[in-house]
Amino acid sequence: MVRAAVLIACSLMAPLAMADTSTFRQALDAARNDDWETLSRMESALDDNHPLEAYLEFHRIRVGLPELPPEKIQAYAETYSDSPLPGDVVDMAIVAYGKAKRWDALLTVSETAPREVALQCYYYQAKLANNDESALQEAARLWAHGSSRPNACDPLFDAARQAGVIDDKAIWERQRLAFEAGNYSLMRYLNRLLEGSDYETAGNWLKKLYRSPDSLSDLPRGLSGEQKEMLREAGLFRWIYTDTIAARKWFEKQATQITNDDARESLGRRLAWYSTIRGIEENRAWLDQWLESHSDVELLSQRARRAVIEQNWEATAHWIRKLPAEEQADSRWRYWLSRALEATGEEDTARELLQQAAKGRNFFAFLAADRLGEPYRFSDAPYSATVDFKAPKAVNRIVLLQELEEDTAAHREWLWLLWHSDREQQRALADYALKKQWYSLAVEASIQSKSWDTLAWRFPPAYRAQFEKEGVENDLDPWLAMSVSRRESAFNPRARSGVGASGLMQLMPATARQVAKEANQERPTQAMLFDQNVNIGLGTRYLAELLEQFNGNRLLALAAYNAGPHRIDNWLEEEDDKAVPADVWVESIPFRETRDYVQAVLTYRVLFIGLHDDQPRTAQLMTDMESESRYSLSMLE
C-alpha cells in the first residue's frame, strides 16, 4: 500500500485550468444512473487522466460484477492505490462474487478475511468450497454472538451445523449470549432449534428467567448440574437489572450457589455497579463493604460521584482517596476533593488542590480557576513546520469533490490520507486544512495526529460570520452556538448521526421542521439541513428557544439540547430544600453523554473566546446567575 512518504513527496498537480466541474458532474450522475451513453459523451469532453477518474471507473466495476474477472478488481486497486476507493471495490466484489458463488474469484480479490461480518461469511464460504475445514471453526466463532447475524452467514452456519461444529451446546450458549444482550426475539428463535435436544428444558427456563428472574430458585431437578449453574448465573444477571435490591438479598444469602469464582465475581461487580449508579441506599452497606475489598477504578469513581451528588463530603474525600494516584491527579477529582476538604474545614489543603486542578484545560480546571479568581490556562502550542509541505494528489481530489458538493467522499479521502501519513505529515495536513478553511478536516487532522495542545486546529473560528449574524437575529451568544456545533459535528456540514441528526448543529429533522414552522420559514428538506446557512439558522434559533424556556440558564438549555427538554424536569429536585449547587447538578446528570456534553460545550466556549475574541481569559465558564443558583424545579417558574 502506498505510504504517505510517497504521497507527500508528490507535488501538487499543475492547476487544472478550472476543469469543467459541470461536465464531470454530469458524467458522475450518468455513471450512478447507469446511463453509459451520456457518460461516454461527457468523458470525451474531460481531460485525460482526470483526477476523479476513479469515481467513474468505480461505477463501471459496479455494473460489471459479478461477471468481471478478479484481475479487473486487482488492476483497479493497483491503479488507484492512493485512494480509499479500492477498498470499497474489493468489498463490493466480495459480495457480488459471494452471491454468485464465484468462490475462486472471491479468494483472488480477498487473500485475507475482511473485517465486516457479512463479508467474512462470504469469505469463509469460499474457503469451505475450497475444502478448507478451518472455515467451520470460524463459522462457530461468528455464530457465538448475542445479536442477529447477516443473512449472508446462514449458508455458512448451516454447513457448520451439518458438520456438527455448531451443535446443541453451541446453540444453547448463543441463547445465553442473546439473553445477556437483551435480545429476546433471538432467544426464541434459538429455543426452537433446541426442541427435542438435551438443552430444550434449559432453553425454556432461560426464556422464563428473562421474564421472571426471581424464579432462579425454582429450577427443576431434570437439569444437569452445568445447566443449573448457567441458569442461576443468567437469572441473577437479569435480576440485578430488574430488581437490584431483591437480587442483592439473594446474593448475600445464596452466592455460594454460584460455584464458578469468575462468574460470582462478575455478578458481584454488576450488582455493585447498579447499586451505585442507581443510588440505592438500601444496598449501601453491602456496596461499601464490597468496594473496600475491590480496587475497581470505574466503580470507585462512580461511588465518589454518588457521594458528590449527595453532598456527603466526608464520603467524597474517602472514595476519591481510594482511587489510584493517577486518577486522583485528574482535575475533576482534585476539584471535588478540594470541595470536600473545604466543607470539612481543611481550607488550606483545599486551596492547594484547587491550584493544582486549575493547571488543566477542561471544565473542572476552569471551575477551579474561577473559585480561585485566577485566569484560565490554555497550554496552547503553536505549530512550527519542520519540513516544507507539498500537497499530495489526494488534495486535488478533495478540492474537486468539495466543488461538486461531494463532501462525504471528500471527507473519506481526507481520512484515508491521514491514516496513511506519519504524525509530522498529519500535522502538516492539519495546518494546510486550516489555511484552506477546511475546518472539519483540520479538526480531524488534529485528532489523528493527537495534537491536543495545538488549539488553532482544534478550535478554529468556523463559520464565524454566519454564527454572528444568526446570533444577532436570535439574541444568542454566537460563541455558544459555535461551541455546540464544534461538539456536535466538529464543524462537518455533512455530518449525520445514526438516528438522523444532521448538519453542523446535528438537528433532528422533526425538530428542524418544528422550528422552521414556528418561524414561518420553508419546511427544510434533508438536503437543506446539510446547507451550513440553513442549519446554523435553525440550530441557533432552537438553542435560543431552549434558553428562553429555561430562563437563560445555559446548563439546563445545553442538557436539553443534547437529551431533550422533556428530561430536565426529572433531573431537578422537586423541593427547594434539596436544591443543589451548579457544579453538583452537572455531576448529577444521569446520562454520561449529557454530563460530558454540558461540560464540553461550556469549556469550548471559553476556548473560542480566549483564542479568537479580545476578552480576558477569566470568569467565562458560567454566569453569576448560573453559578450562584440552587438547582431545583423552582428555577423553571
Q: Give tens-digit pLDDT for 195-211.
A: 999 999 999 999 999 99
Between CA 300 and CA 219 the distance in angstroms is 35
172 and 202 together in one domain: yes
Confidence of residue 614 (pLDDT cuts 50, 70, 90): confident
SS3 379: coil
Report residue 38 as a C-alpha cell. Answer: 451520456
344 inside domain: no
Tally of residues, the chain: 637
462-485 pLDDT tens trace: 999 999 999 999 999 999 999 999
Note the pLDDT tens digit of each residue in 238-288: 999 999 999 999 999 999 999 999 999 999 999 999 999 999 999 999 999
Which of 162, 193, 228 finishes a domain?
Answer: 162
Nearest 10 degrees: CA dihedral of 228, 238, 173, 99?
160
- Give the DSSP letter of residue 272: H
Beta-carbon count within 10 A of 111 CB: 7
Give, in order, the Cα–Cα distances in Å from 285 to each of 107, 243, 280, 291: 60, 17, 10, 10
Residue ranges in 502-591 assigned as alpha helix (H)? 509-518, 526-529, 532-549, 554-563, 582-588
Among the listed residues 138, 342, 413, 488, the single catalytic one is 488
CB 30 within 8 A of CB 43: no
Question: Which of 294, 310, 325 is the last residue in one of the domains?
Answer: 294
Q: Is residue 423 part of a domain?
A: no
The span from the CA of 71 to the CA of 86, in Å, is 13
Does one domain contain both 118 and 175? no
- Determine the Cα angle at 110 with ends 106 and 114, to 5°: 110
Q: Are 123 and 150 in contact (CB under 8 A)?
A: no
Rounded Cα gap, residues 175 and 600, in angstroms: 40
Q: Mark residue 383 as left, alpha or beta (left: phi above 0; alpha: psi -120 to 50; beta: remaining).
A: beta
Q: What is the pLDDT of residues 556-586, one digit of tens each?
A: 999 999 999 999 999 999 999 999 999 999 9
Residue 17 has pLDDT above 80, yes or no: no
> Per the structure, how many domains does the chain have?
3
Contacts of 597 by beta carbon, 8 Å cutoff, 6+ apart: 487, 558, 559, 561, 562
Domain carrying residue 102: 4-162
* Of 584, 381, 343, 596, residue with least CA distance to 353: 343
pLDDT tens, residue by residue, 42-64: 999 988 889 999 999 999 999 99
> Phi, psi (5° rounding) for residue 395?
-65, -40
Which CATH number does the domain housing residue 543 bear? 1.10.530.10
CB neighbours of residue 392 within 10 Å: 25
Please, what sign has the CA dihedral across residues 354, 358, 363, 367? positive
Q: Is position 346 within any domain? A: no
Instruction: State the CB neighbour count (10 A cutoff) for residue 499.
Output: 7
116 and 17 in a common domain: yes
Domain boundary among the residues 248, 263, 294 is at 294
pLDDT at 96 over 70: yes
Residues 142 and 193 in one domain: no
Nearest CA-CA partner of 11 in 386, 385, 396, 384: 396
Looking at every residue in the chain, the average pLDDT score rounds to 94
pLDDT at residue 7, as a whole number:
33
Shared domain check, 219 and 103: no
In a domain, 404, yes or no: no
Residue 440 lies in a domain: no
Asked whether residue 349 is domain-assigned, the answer is: no
Catalytic annotation on 133? no
d(CA 195, CA 517): 56
